Amino acid sequence: MMLRRSSITSFCSQFLKSSYSHNLNYARSSSSLSSSSNPHLITSSATALDFSSKATTDFVSLTRHYGRCYWELSKARLSMLVVATSGTGFVLGSGSAVDFSALSWTCLGTMMVAASANSLNQVFEINNDAKMKRTSRRPLPSGRITKPHAIGWASSVGLAGTALLATQTNMLAAGLAASNLVLYAFVYTPLKQIHHVNTWVGAVVGAIPPLLGWAAASNDISLNAMILPAALYFWQLPHFMALAYMCRSDYAAGGFKMYSLADASGRRTALVALRNSIYLIPLGFLAYDWGVTSEWFCLESTVLTLAISAAAFSFYRDRTREKARRMFHASLLYLPVFMTGLLIHRRSDSEQLLEDNAKGFVKSASSGEALELDDNDDNQNIKAKKRQARPPVAYASVAPFPFLPAPSY
């Protein structure tokens, strides 16, 4: 009985092993047969993977190409400078509290409109840019992007930026943005090939963005709003006169009518730069007098303006490329320092109100007189006596001394 069971067990194990071996061989033969009967299966899979990888690579390459073209068409660095002036104007016009959400929308809308204006500028100046070494490698003259494509990009981003400012800030800011786009692309750009007054028109274009920022913050334009636009207008003239003097041959080759091309000696060009540098001096005092900044800004602005004026005077005395380059670099330093000073020393509405109240109190206290009767005088003559009043705690704790303790009497 035991022998029969062991024989049955060995038979079953042998059967299972042979069955497993048969199935394994069948699977291998089936796989081999499938591969041999479908020779294109592996090839098509590899081709699909190669096609997918190539499509991804082409997409990334195309994205980088057009991204680079849009960056250069927009003159992104110049546009970011425009955004900085617009953002500074927004902060200055914000009063006591800055709405950072509205500030972000204002900067984004300004960036888009500036990119549109710069792109249209290059569309209109393709032939001129092709003749100049400094601009011949731009996207349009180099053929990296077509003219209809550039026009489509400029139109879409300009309309979107204007609509963004209109919906997220106010119509006044959107109107200033649209007007500046038209002034830059359709007035300043063609004027560069007609008359050298284009430099002064371009200075007006550069002065509008901070006004745009102020309008976006306050929905109003007041006299105080003109400090930074005036600074930008006067600053641009020495800045561009230095650039135009250094690039005279390039501008002449491009067919542009620059002021420096009609001034062989460079004397009048240097004089324009010096004159407008001097015009910057009173702006610090006006900013304090109009309540935009504290009194410290007067000193800082004066020192800064004297520095750029000294560079302009040096260029006027010795009209060389080296002196022009030095004045150009001085102008590059002036603007960010000036705007930083405005932001650091700006006075909010609450600070100005406290100071005005304090001044009014001191004035009334110093001029206040008490009338009292003299009993010893038969005619009861009236005598005036000055009384020293007690200033409120708020007066002793306003800027720039908020750390002082409350006075005790």
Spatial separation of the C-alpha atoms in residues 85 and 92, rounded to whole Å? 11
What is residue 31's predicted lDDT score, i.e. its pLDDT? Answer: 43
Assigned token pair, 45 = 């899979």
Helix axes 147-168 and 40-73, enclosed angle (nearest 10): 70
Predicted local confidence at residue 350, as pLDDT: 52
- What is the structure's pLDDT at 37? 47
> Mind giving me the DSSP string for 224-260?
GGGHHHHHHHHHHHHHHHHHHHHTHHHHHHHT---GG
pLDDT one digit per residue (tens) for the chain, 409 residues: 433 444 444 544 554 444 444 444 444 444 443 444 455 545 666 666 666 777 788 788 889 999 999 999 999 999 999 999 999 999 999 988 899 999 999 999 999 999 999 999 999 999 999 988 888 899 999 999 999 999 999 999 999 999 999 999 999 999 999 999 999 999 999 999 999 999 999 999 999 999 999 999 999 999 999 999 999 999 999 999 999 999 888 899 889 999 999 888 999 999 999 999 999 999 999 999 999 999 999 999 999 999 999 999 999 999 999 999 999 999 999 999 999 999 999 987 655 555 555 555 444 444 444 334 344 444 444 333 333 333 333 333 333 333 333 333 3
Question: Mapping DSSP to helix (H, G, I), strand (E, B) and coil, where does residue 142 land?
Answer: coil
Distance of alpha carbon 119 from alpha carbon 160, whole angstroms = 14
Residues facing residue 57 across a β-bridge: none
pLDDT on residue 36: 46
| Other beta carbons within 10 Å of 374 | 11
- The DSSP annotation for 312-373 comes to HHHHHHS-SHHHHHHHHHHHHHHHHHHHHHHHHHB--HHHHHHHHHHHHHHHHHHH-EEEEE
What is the structure's pLDDT at 96?
Answer: 81
Compute the radius of gyration of the chain from its Cα atoms: 37
